[in-house]
Structure 1
Amino acid sequence: MKRNGTAVWKGSLKEGNGVVSTQSKVLDNAQYSFKSRFEEGIGTNPEELIAAAHAGCFTMQLSAYIGEEGFEIESIETKCDIDLVDGTIVTSHLTVSAKVSGISADVFQQQVTKAEKNCPVSKLLNAAISTTATLV
């Protein structure tokens, strides 16, 4: 399976701007700029997109592992915080809240740790990855 995204940039780094799109068209010419990346401008940025991708990937992987253990999932919500320092993504922190019938805190945490290490986006990132997980 292959997927793609595209970016078009016009102008200089600080005064220019661009758009990003995804193959699915969920993002279709979504704007991004220096201000949306490093200040408080309108639009998205690469780090925000990576955070969404990591949260989505991890959550799906966690649901697979919990399901394999035979538990019924009501919901899993994950927030991902990406930290960009001196031009390098240094951390990705996942904050997870889940409602899972009958699962113990220990088994839940084991599955969280397994998903943190094994989701494809975690494997891609060259950053410290951490997780805070809560059963609701």
Structure 2
Amino acid sequence: MKRNATAQWQGSVKEGKGSLTTQSTTLNNTQYSFNSRFEEGVGTNPEELIAAAHSGCFTMQLSAFLTEGGFTVENIQTKCEINFLNGSIVGSHLTVESKIPGISEEDFQALVTKAEKNCPISKLLNTEITSTATLV
């Protein structure tokens, strides 16, 4: 399986603008710019897209591990915060809130850690990855 996305850019890094299109066209000429990346401009940015990819991948991996363990997943919500410092991504923090009937806190935390280490995006990122998880 291969997936792709295309970036287009016109102009200098600060005054220019670009667009991103994914294979599925979920992003279809979605704008991005220096302002959307480093300030508060309209549009997306690479770090936000990495956060979306990491939270989505982790959440699916956690669901798979919970299901394999015989648990019913009522809900998992994961927020990912990418820490971009001095031109490098230096961290990814996952905040997880889940409703999983019948699971112990110990088993839940173990499966969160397992998913954190084993989801494909976690494996791709060469950075510290941490998480905070809460059963509700």
TM-score by shorter chain over 0.5? yes
Partner Cα separation in structure 2 for residue 19 and residue 30 of structure 1: 5
Deviations along 1:23-55, one digit per CA (max 9) or x if unpaired, are 001000000000000001000000000000000
Q: Percent identity?
A: 68
- Corresponding residue of 1:112: 112
- Corresponding residue of 1:16: 16
Q: Count matched residues.
A: 136
- Corresponding residue of 2:96: 96
- Corresponding residue of 1:57: 57
- Output the TM-score relative to the length of structure 1: 0.99
SS of residue paired to 2:41: coil
- Corresponding residue of 2:5: 5
Tell me how far 1:101 sits from its aligned partner.
1.0
- Output the TM-score relative to the length of structure 2: 0.99
After TM superposition, list the pairs within 5 Å mapping 1:15-34 onto structure 2. Answer: 15-34=15-34
Partner Cα separation in structure 2 for residue 126 and residue 36 of structure 1: 24
Partner Cα separation in structure 2 for residue 79 and residue 52 of structure 1: 8
- Corresponding residue of 2:126: 126
Partner Cα separation in structure 1 for residue 54 and residue 11 of structure 2: 30
Deviations along 1:32-87, one digit per CA (max 9) or x if unpaired, are 00000000100000000000000000000000000000000100000000011111
SS of residue paired to 2:100: strand
After superposition, the CA RMSD in angstroms is 0.3
- Corresponding residue of 1:85: 85
Tell me how far 1:135 sits from its aligned partner.
0.2
Residue 11 of structure 1 aligns with an amino acid whose one-letter code is G
Tell me how far 1:91 sits from its aligned partner.
0.3
